[in-house]
Structure 1
Amino acid sequence: MKELVENMVQWLQQQVKEAGVKGLLVGVSGGLDSAVVAHLIKRAAPDHSLGVIMPCKSNPTDIKHANDVVASSNINDITVDLTATHDTLFTTISQQVTEKQEWQEANERLADANLRARLRMSTLYTLATNYNYLVVGTDNAAEWYTGYFTKYGDGGVDILPMVELTKQKVREVAEFVGVPDHIIHKKPSADLWEGQTDEAEMGTSYDVIDAYLQGRKIPEKDKALIEKLHKRTEHKRNGAKHFHIGYPL
């Protein structure tokens, strides 16, 4: 584990050097993955790392946990409350579309949740520009493979240090770097709406996805679901499709 963490820290330092920037920042949600990244970037750039807490109608417990991460990592931090910004923008959009009688109530919760994620992305990049930092993503292997992230939201980052780590491996790294136990063992949630949990939304567990990615046998229904999620979210991993003109200009 010591070797893995040292290699990850060195990789982060190399990304800073190659990009010609000063440091690294991450959105700190109070969850496991962002907690690990906060600890890693503090190690990689002790004087030039930033943890950003971005409440948006958030569970107060998650905000407390985010502050616990700041304390345990000793990372420089800033809090930007996006609740009012989200309310203004979402209300304006929904009112305009409702006036056209085209508002789709069935899609309202997802549109609301994705807007939160994209406002957080915009906040991180605004801060990154100010500090001349890279935005560090928090996706692990299970989330990346199943596409469990918002396109141009939490998926909108510069670098992904944990994208090849299973959720279990992330937990092991968390224990090694000193993430508080209550964060390591809490139910994973993207804080998209009240009571939301990652595993309930995905329809399977991280342990099962980890097993699938490691080539171990899992129930057929879970295998079918994971493969369906992977295929359906391919566009998130590939970015925008390009039109090829087919002849020299």
Structure 2
Amino acid sequence: MISNPTLKNYLDLDYGKVTDYLVNKLRDYIRDSGKKGGVVGVSGGIDSAVTATLLSRATQNFYFLIMPSNSTPQQDLEDALHLTEMLNGKDKRTIISIDNIVENFSNVVNTRDKLIVGNIKARTRMILLYAFAQKMDYLVIGTGDKSELLLGYFTKYGDGGVDVLPIGDLFKTQVRKLGEYLKLPSRIVSKPSSPALWEGQTAEGELGVSYEVVDPILYLLEKGKGDLEITSELGVNLNLVRRIRTMVERSRHKRLPPEIFKLP
């Protein structure tokens, strides 16, 4: 447990100002790109729910793709449908089961490895998002948050393959608070985060620690604090801080464009 009573102050934000800023910034970004609107994949989770809501406030030209697979919990599908209806997007959405597409890719690769198949699912969704975006002359609006980006908890050229990341500078715990401010359904706001690339997968289950613990560590790492300093300030285990730092460092390549080897 984290014992520092001032911990929450690190990540406090004025979510009214955050909402106004992100909506206006997204509206301007779409306009300046020369595109007509934006398409977002809605999963039933908090990140996509917040992103979809911001997009719907930024422009009337929004479109939602709901792309369940055999590992998508029924509640996630129900929540995605409910959210898009809340946002007046019932006539601006397409629901596509990706199982047949993923099965074809998996057969070509001749694999049933859950990690490989899971990444195929994420990249299949990216292909569909870009196909719809190109057809409509829209941008692909990404749903990744800062915690996932720093930890490398996304699929390169899958959910990481997007045109813009409106909530990419918000930690997961901040996204949940923003969801509360936007009055999103409580079961979406409080739902355990999961890409659902295989049955039973949860982000915090794989991390072995909650985002309430991870986010302050990530925040202080970004501020340049040392491992021992973070351990002392937050009252967390030194090995945990080192593990989080290692995850950030080893996933750095996923946050960068491909390296171009310049000729001498």
TM-score, length-scaled by structure 2? 0.85
Could you say which residue in structure 1 is the equivalent of 2:192? 187
Question: Is 1:48 the equivalent of 2:61?
Answer: yes
In structure 1, the partner of 2:226 is none
Letter in 2 for 1:81: S
RMSD: 1.3
Deviations 1:184-240 (A, max 9, x none): 011111011000001112333211221113325232122111111111111100121
1:220 aligns with one of 215, 233, 238: 238
| Aligned-partner residue type, residue 82 of structure 1 | I
Structure 1: which amino acid aligns with 2:167? M
**Equivalent pair of 1:55/1:82 in contact (CA under 8 Å):** yes
Please say if residues 113 and 193 of structure 1, whose CA atoms lie closer than 8 Å, have aligned partners that are also in contact.
yes
Could you tell me whether the CA contact under 8 Å between 2:218 and 2:244 is conserved in 1? Answer: no
CA distance in 2, matches of 1:61, 1:149: 22
Match of 2:83 in 1: 69
Where do residues 88-237 of structure 1 align in structure 2 (5 Å cutoff)? Answer: 88-94=104-110, 108-215=113-220, 217=234, 218-237=236-255
Q: What stretches of structure 1 move > 4 A for 4+ residues in a row?
A: none
Shift of residue 163 of structure 1? Answer: 1.1
Counterpart residue identity of residue 74, structure 1: N
Aligned counterparts of 1:146 and 1:225: Cα–Cα separation in 2: 10
Gaps of 5+ in 2: 1-14, 221-232
Report deviation, 1:74.
2.0
Query: Do 1:53 and 1:66's aligned partners in 2 also have CA atoms closer than 8 Å?
Result: yes
Aligned to 1:87: 103
2:37 alignment partner in structure 1: 23
Q: 2:94 aligns with which of 78, 81, 84?
A: 78
Q: Is the 8 A contact 1:208 1:222 kept in 2?
A: no
1:68-92 residue CA offsets vs partner (Å, 9 max, x unmatched): 2112222321112111111122122
Q: Alignment partner of 1:74: what SS? A: coil
Size of the aligned set, in residue pairs, is 234
**Which among 5, 9, 12 is matched to residue 26 of structure 2?**
12
* CA shift for structure 1 position 48: 0.4
